[in-house]
Amino acid sequence: MDSGIGLLPAAAAVRRLRPDADLVLSSDPGGMPWGPRTPEDLTVRALAVAEAAAAHRPDALIVACNTASVHALPALRARLEPGLPVIGTVPAIKPAAAGGGPVAIWATPATTGSPYQRGLIREWASSVTVTEVACPGLAEAVQHADEAAIDAAIAAAAALTPADARAVVLGCTHYELVAERIRAAVQRPGAPRLVLHDSAGAVAAQALRRIGERPASEAQAAAPGLTVLLDGREAELPAPALAYEEGRLLRAVGSPVR
């Protein structure tokens, strides 16, 4: 679940790890972006998106949204667990800092400077130089596959990123869809290859650990299912999702589930 197509990287990571898995993608395009909303409003919307997914009886729910994980995770777990394991998304600050600094954290304006993110920095990155970089408009541009707006938002954030940064933490799941464009904008000529840290692979692996491995039936292996819920209603993958490799992967190897 996510406000929009930021759920694609985690869904694609699950698909790669478990090609037989049926997937339900639940989002709130009518309410996207969630970042500017109050925590109370965001939590109401996140609960609605989660309950729409839960109605399909999944084995686990990945909250593939940093903002929702910051503000709504306790409410989601209170509502759905223990019957449905809920896995949140945490910015990969710990592994980024372990690789040495300086580190830049790209995130939405709502997350940048938040007590939550500052707490993660104190806990895991106190020994390295960290720069928090707000990226206004980038998630929205990615959501709509607006190429010009993506380029402008990335350029603006790159200008705020220290030239000596060795790693960039992608603190919004939407950003993972344009990771290589971010690398190209931040990479300095002659500098070591910039390391990007995302969350999709880690949360996908954690979800599978929570539910345990299950043998796939032949039917599942031959035709893994894909259900897309937009504002709680079944639909096709939105056209902008197909601008990204992850969206095309999910469409190519998923069949409708009814």
Q: Note whether 73 and 99 are same-domain residues.
A: no
Mean pLDDT across 85-91: 94
- The residue out of 151, 177, 198 marking a domain boundary is 198
d(C-alpha 158, C-alpha 251), whole Å: 32
Q: Coil, strand, or helix at residue 124?
A: helix
Q: Note whether 109 and 172 are same-domain residues.
A: yes
Average per-residue pLDDT for the chain: 92
Q: Note whether 111 and 160 are same-domain residues.
A: yes
Catalytic residue of the set 63, 172, 207, 230:
172
Residues contacting residue 160 through CB under 8 Å, at least 6 positions apart: 131, 133, 134
Q: Note whether 194 and 99 are same-domain residues.
A: yes
Mean pLDDT across 180-186: 97
Q: Show the beta-strand stretches assigned E in 186-256.
A: 195-197, 225-230, 233-235, 255-256
pLDDT at 221: 52
- The residue out of 156, 176, 198 marking a domain boundary is 198
Structural domain containing residue 153: 93-198
Per-residue pLDDT reduced to its tens digit, 16-43? 999 989 999 999 999 988 888 888 999 9
Contact between 31 and 219 under an 8 Å Cβ cutoff? The reply is: no
- Reply yes or no on whether the pLDDT at 258 is more than 50: no
Q: Note whether 103 and 173 are same-domain residues.
A: yes
Q: Note whether 213 and 183 are same-domain residues.
A: no
Catalytic, 65? Answer: yes
How does residue 230 score in pLDDT terms, banded at 50, 70 and 90? very high
Q: Note whether 179 and 214 are same-domain residues.
A: no
pLDDT at 101: 86
pLDDT at 38: 87
- The residue out of 198, 224, 240 marking a domain boundary is 198
**Kind of pairing, strands 225-230 and 233-235?**
antiparallel
Q: Note whether 170 and 210 are same-domain residues.
A: no
Q: Coil, strand, or helix at residue 106?
A: strand
Q: Note whether 147 and 194 are same-domain residues.
A: yes
Task: Please report, for the domain that includes residue 247, its CATH number.
Answer: 3.40.50.1860
pLDDT at 222: 54
Q: Note whether 97 and 173 are same-domain residues.
A: yes
Kindly state the tokens that stand for 74. 């306790």
Domain count, the chain: 2
pLDDT at 217: 46
Contact between 167 and 194 under an 8 Å Cβ cutoff? The reply is: yes
d(C-alpha 257, C-alpha 234), whole Å: 10
Per-residue pLDDT reduced to its tens digit, 130-161? 999 999 999 999 999 999 999 999 999 999 99
Q: Note whether 154 and 245 are same-domain residues.
A: no
Q: Note whether 156 and 207 are same-domain residues.
A: no
Per-residue pLDDT reduced to its tens digit, 193-226? 999 999 999 999 999 999 985 544 443 455 689 9
